[in-house]
Amino acid sequence: MIKDNLRQVQRRIKAVDKNQQVTLIAVSKTKPISDLQQAIDIGQHHFGENYLQEALDKIKALENQNLIWHFIGAIQSNKTSQIAQNFDWVHSVDRLKIAKRLNQQRSDNLTKLNVLLQINIDNEPTKSGIFPKQIDDIIVHFSTLPNLTLRGFMCIPNPDNAKQSFAKMANILKKYPNLDTLSMGMSHDLELAIENGATFVRIGTDIFGKRG
Ligand SMILES: *Cc1c(COP(=O)(O)O)cnc(C)c1O
């Protein structure tokens, strides 16, 4: 079942990914390790998790399988140390304080931590993320954070105007020639996201089924 679902998602991506730019992240929050293993068995490498303790258990249990782990959930500042030490990518950096802590807490013996800024692309007051007009002010500080590599941006758009929001994200990325990553698109809108320049799509439900 999971294997068939994953193959189906791979086909959907292939159908719209003209430039072969997209990497699929399997979002496995709340799902058991046996579910992840089914995806791994047919070649899935990238996994996204939202909840730290659950993620750490999975990372440990699957540590010999060469996986790439993405933290995509809300970040409390008292959790940054474990995130910095156990993940390859963090998509949900939404304030400078978090970036500074991740930089301090990333061990020197690890490769740099890949970071995306979560953008509140629709300027919604109740949502987390950096407002588009604040991006420049935050980005200048990354030159002082040697253990991080800022790679680009992530968003969760309002579904009412996802197409326009994805296009806005692509325009923002274009302003920063040294950045190369747009994390956008979930189960219901992955095609739209890819058509508008996504390089990571984050797919949970359509691979692992509904969450309880
Ligand atoms: C849960 C989650 C996803 C996956 O969403 P689906 O609709 O289940 O594909 C993607 N991104 C983030 C940030 C999530 O929290």
Residues 143-179: pLDDT tens digits? 999 999 999 999 999 999 999 999 999 999 999 999 9
Residue whose CA lies nearest to ligand 1 atom number 13 = 72
Residue 61 is predicted with a pLDDT of: 98
Report the pocket of ligand 1 as residue ranges, CB < 6 Å.
27, 29, 50, 72, 156, 186-187, 202-206
Neighbours of 181 (CB within 10 A): 20
Among 47, 72, 116, 210, residue to substitute to test ligand 1 (most atoms within 8 Å of Cβ): 72
- Which candidate, 12, 132, 148, 141, places its Cα nearest to that of 80? 148
Model confidence band, residue 212 (pLDDT cutoffs 50, 70, 90): confident
Say how many Å lie between the first and final Cα of the chain, rounded: 17
Query: Would you say domain 2-208 falls under CATH 3.20.20.10?
Result: yes
Q: What is the mean predicted confidence (pLDDT) over 54-78?
A: 98
Residue 193 is predicted with a pLDDT of: 98
Q: What percent of the chain has pLDDT over 90?
A: 99
- The number of the ligand 1 atom at minimal distance from the alpha carbon of 188 is 7
Residue whose CA lies nearest to ligand 1 atom number 10 = 202
Largest Cα span, the chain? 47
Residue 210 is predicted with a pLDDT of: 97
Residue whose CA lies nearest to ligand 1 atom number 12 = 72
Q: How far apart are CA 50 and CA 156, in angstroms?
A: 14
Residue 204 CA to ligand 1 centre (angstroms): 6
Residue 182 is predicted with a pLDDT of: 98
What is the average pLDDT value for the chain, to the nearest integer? 98
Tens-place pLDDT, residues 6-59: 999 999 999 999 999 999 999 999 999 999 999 999 999 999 999 999 999 999
Boundaries of every domain in the chain: 2-208
pTM, full prediction: 0.98
Q: How far apart are CA 13 and CA 207, in angstroms?
A: 13
